[in-house]
Amino acid sequence: MKMPQTEDEVNEKIYDHRIMPDWSNVVNETNGTMHYSKDMIFNDGHRLSITVYSILLVLSSIGNSTVLYLIVKRRWHNRTRSPSRIDIMLMHLAIADLMVTFLLMPLEIAWAYTVQWRSTDFVCRTMSFFRVFGLYLSSFVLVSISIDRYYAILKPLKFSTNRGRIMLAIAWIASVICSTPQAFIFHLEQHPKVKGYYQCVAFHSFPTELHKLIYQISNMCAMYAFPLVTFIYCYGRIYLEIYRKSFARFRRS
């Protein structure tokens, strides 16, 4: 079996073999020569992914490690006092971002380098879970922070010492729940036409394309739409309250 090395020998269509419902047409055979799509051989797209994720890995590890260190250091110097809710939430946010940094980014770098999946089905399912867990956790912790600021500024009389811990617990539990389907959807599968070529994919995991679309939209709503709506509402109300008080103070002066 000959692996093509020139652009002319490669199928011009680019396929995302991780999410395609079927990849049987990714490889074509002409006169005994197998023609692979660009995604099945190392190419400029993989080089770009490695470069971008490597830069993000360095920047994120430095930034979030620094934030976590400063929070822990401040707690150590003020260990006679209980830590503030916002400090605890920022610490959880830094932990979530570091999980993305040291789980998602190295995985994407290694995967882009090897092109195909070089590990077991168990690792495929486990890493598919962690590919989104840190992202969910980061989003939900940010939601917790925005809700906490909303109550602290607009409803200070409803102050609760346990509210922060409860919201963080919900953020962690919700992240686990939202990420768990990934471990069942993604699995190791061999290419039907290329012996020994394995990929961690979501093929045949949905009975219909409608089910797949519903799942993808649900993920988008949980990870992005819901946090965005919460941010807009909470910080919008905070801004209006600050503006109202500033305007009232200006009129009295």
Domain boundaries, the chain: 116-253
Residue with the larger pLDDT of the pair 20 and 138? 138
Average pLDDT over residues 225-233: 97
Residue 169 has pLDDT above 70, yes or no: yes
Burial class (CB in 10 A: 0-12, 13-18, 19+), 185: middle
- 116-253 CATH: 1.20.1070.10
Average pLDDT of the residues of the chain: 86
Tell me if 165 sits within 8 A of 89, measured CB to CB. Answer: no
Instruction: Give CA–CA dist 106/103, Å, rounded.
Output: 6
pTM assigned to the model? 0.83
Residue 82 has pLDDT above 80, yes or no: no
Residue 119 has pLDDT above 80, yes or no: yes
Give Cα 156 distance to the centre of its chain.
33
With a CB cutoff of 8 Å and minimum separation 6, the contacts of 39 are 14, 15, 16, 17, 26, 45, 115
pLDDT band at 145 (very low <50, low <70, confident <90, very high): very high
pLDDT band at 31 (very low <50, low <70, confident <90, very high): low
Alpha-carbon distance values, 234 to 77, 88, 160, 225 (Å): 32, 20, 18, 14
Residue 5 has pLDDT above 50, yes or no: no
Average pLDDT over residues 207-234: 96
pLDDT band at 83 (very low <50, low <70, confident <90, very high): confident
Tell me if 37 sits within 8 A of 27, measured CB to CB. Answer: yes
pLDDT band at 27 (very low <50, low <70, confident <90, very high): low
